[in-house]
Each structure stands twice: as C-alpha cells, then as structure tokens.
Amino acid sequence: MNFPTLSDIRAAHDRIRPFIHRTPILTSTAINEIAGCEIFFKCENFQKVGAFKARGAANAVMKLTPGQRAKGVATHSSGNHAAALARAASVAGIPSYIVMPSNAPEIKKKAVKGYGGEIIECEPNLKARETTLEAVVERTGATFIPPYDFMDVIEGQGTCALELLEDQPDLDIVMAPVGGGGLLGGTALTAHYLNPTIKVIAGEPTGADDAYRSFHAGEIIPQTGPNTIADGLLTSLGKLNFELIQRYVDDILLATDPQTIEAMRLVYERMKIVIEPSCAVPLAALLANKDRFAGKKVGIILSGGNVDLGKLPF
C-alpha cells in the first residue's frame, strides 16, 4: 500500500491553507497538575466547521479534476464530515449531496444546510446509508468522498499533526480519538515521518471499542451495536486506517462514558472552551492511565466542538 509521503502531507497543507484555520495550542496548569504530565491541546474545536474534518474534506475537494467538480460531491455522514464536505464544496462553488441518517443531531443537519448541502435522509443503519448514497451517485454523477477511509482525506487529516509538531516538536506522546481512524491514521503517519521516537496513543470509548479489539487481534473486528456518548466515534474502523494504525500506533486506551464526561467537564471548567464528547475521550483515557504519562510532554488533538448545548451531559 502506497501511503502519502511527508511531501504529500506538506503539499496537502499548502493546498488547504487558504480554507482552514491554523488552530492554536492551549495549555492548562490546573489540568497538568491533575494529570501529572504536561499536556498541549491542539484546538481543532476552533477549526472551520468546528472540527478537524475540514482538513480532509478540503484536500479531497481541491484534488478533484474539473470534470469531477462539475458534477459535485457526495457522502454519507451523520455529523462533522457532512458539514466539512458541504463547506468545502461551497467554497469550491460545486454542489454537494449529503446522505444523513434520520436520527443525526439537528445541529449537524443545520450546519450542512447552512453550507448549501442537499440532505437526503435515510434509515439510521449502515446498509441504508450505503444504498441511498449509491442511488444519489447514480442520479447525479457526483464523486463519493468517504468520511475517513480514503487516501486524500487521511492526507488532509495528517496536516493537523504536522502543525502540532511544527509548533511543539519536543513532544513524547501524541494522542487522538479513534472512530473510523482517519485522524489517527494521518496523525500516526505524520508523527512517524517527523519523529519516529514519538509514541502515538489513541483514546476510544469502551462502548465502541472495535479499534481496540482490532488492534489487539491483528485483524479488523467490525463495530456492532456501539453505545457511547461519543457520537463521533460510533463508526467501524476503516481498512486503510487499520493498516496505518497497525504500523505506526503504539497503543489504544479505553475510557468509559462517565470518565469521558468528567474529562469534558474538566476542559469546560478549567480551559473555558467548548468540546464535544468524542473530543474528550483521549484526555479521559490519559487520566485513567496516569502512570503511563507521568512527567511526559503529551500533545492531545481536541478533535471538535460541535455539541448540542441544550443536551450537555453535566
């Protein structure tokens, strides 16, 4: 498998630079004291569309041929990728067709509509999402941009770790959440290129632990019946990302929903910033395994801040 090179990831960063924020890195003395290590939070909750997904979607859209652009793009997503692709398409002046399950959060549907995406609703299961998407692609001729298991998307997500390690090169560990694995795969690949001694560790919810089980089994174990507050991490691990994770990720640590809620609350109270539950999982996993991180410099990618403020878990 030919994965993106460091030059490819740098080229992606140049390509998407006009369309994304270079997000800040924040620290909290209070959280460092609680954690027993030094944490550097890469704030993708401040990113366009409120999540790191803006990177991969922008990269994929900007790499389309003129012929592909004319017919637009399509995807299935219940959340941040949907908004990110709709926005990237809007910036490029092309149509987007977004298949969303009927139970997708209202805040995320509003975001897609706000960026000019056409929403096609389906039953809330993977088969319905895939068959509805096939029909949309057949009707429109749009190019399918997968949410995470797609090289152009992984390459775009890798630009987040590129910025983190340019701004904070002396990290011992980099952490990211894992759902489909696009962010984790891109992060692990970039960290490997820039400094192979950096450990890459993922956080995953106990109620959606397919990446953890797959990592330890050495083969993909599909997600079945996930049940977690971290709604951005419900999806099954992608095949390309699994390969990257096997090669370049050092460990996957689990966090329960109560631990995730506690970590989320800690960030709200101590840092005064908005993060979504999925985003809090790596910090929750770190706090549940403090011995692993004692005295280390840890970069945590805060993946997004799209949370329904009317339904906060605390």
**CA 314 to CA 296: how far, in whole Å?**
30
Question: What is the reported pLDDT for 114?
Answer: 95
- Residue 145: phi and psi, rounded to 5, are -110, 100
Instruction: Match domain 6-51+150-311 to its CATH number in 1.20.1250.20, 2.60.40.10, 3.30.70.890, 3.40.50.1100.
Output: 3.40.50.1100
**CATH 3.40.50.1100 residue spans of the chain:** 6-51+150-311, 54-144
Q: Greater confidence, 121 or 125?
A: 121
Answer yes or no: is pLDDT of 192 > 80.
Answer: yes
Answer yes or no: is pLDDT of 17 > 90.
Answer: yes
Span 39-65, pLDDT tens digits: 999 999 999 999 999 999 999 999 999
Residue in this structure with the two tokens 């891109």, named with its chain if needed: 186
Amino acid at 216: H
Question: What is the reported pLDDT for 293?
Answer: 98
Span 271-297, pLDDT tens digits: 999 999 999 999 999 999 999 999 999
Question: What is the reported pLDDT for 125?
Answer: 82
List the structure tokens of 221.
């174990």
What rounded mean pLDDT belongs to the chain? 95
**CA 82 to CA 199: how far, in whole Å?**
31
Burial 267-305 (b: 16+ CB within 10 A, else e): bbeebeebbbbbbbbbbbbbbbeeebbeebbbbbbbbbb
Answer yes or no: is pLDDT of 1 > 80.
Answer: no
Q: Which residues are catalytic?
A: 53, 303
User: Which pLDDT band holds residue 78 (cuts at 50, 70, 90)?
Assistant: confident
Tell me the C-alpha to C-alpha distance, in Å, between residue 42 and each of 21, 22, 290, 302, 304. Answer: 12, 10, 20, 6, 10
Residues 6+ apart with CB under 8 A from 105: 78, 79, 231, 306, 308
User: Which pLDDT band holds residue 307 (cuts at 50, 70, 90)?
Assistant: confident
pTM of the model: 0.95
Question: What is the reported pLDDT for 103?
Answer: 86
CATH of region 54-144: 3.40.50.1100
Question: What is the reported pLDDT for 203?
Answer: 98
Amino acid at 183: L
**CA 69 to CA 76: how far, in whole Å?**
18
pLDDT, average across residues 161-184: 97
Question: What is the reported pLDDT for 123?
Answer: 92
User: Which pLDDT band holds residue 241 (cuts at 50, 70, 90)?
Assistant: very high
